[in-house]
Amino acid sequence: MTLEIPECDVTKNPDSSLEAHHTNSPANAPADVTATTFRDLELGCLAARVAWSLWPDGKAG
C-alpha cells in the first residue's frame, strides 16, 4: 500500500511512525508533521496546509 497525501512526501520509519515533508521542503529539513497513525498524519497535514497557504514564506504574522 502506498501512503500518499497531497503536497506532502510521506515516509514510514523503521519504528512504524510516519513523517510528512512539504513537497517543496529542502531534503535536510525536519519533518513538517509526524504521527503514529496515517489518519493522524492526514489531519496534521491538513492543518499544515492551512498554515502554508496563510504564510507561504513560513513566517506567521
pLDDT of 14 over the 80 cut: yes
**CA-to-CA distance for 47 and 49, rounded, in angstroms?**
5
pLDDT of 7 over the 90 cut: no
The more confidently predicted of residues 58 and 5 is 5
pLDDT of 12 over the 90 cut: yes
pLDDT tier, 19 (very low <50, low <70, confident <90, very high otherwise): very high
State pLDDT tens for residues 27-43.
888 999 999 999 999 99
Q: What is the 3-state secondary structure (H, E, C) of 28-49?
A: CCCCCEEECCHHHHHHHHHHHH
Q: What are phi and psi of 4, to 5 degrees?
A: -130, 140
Predicted pLDDT of residue 26: 87
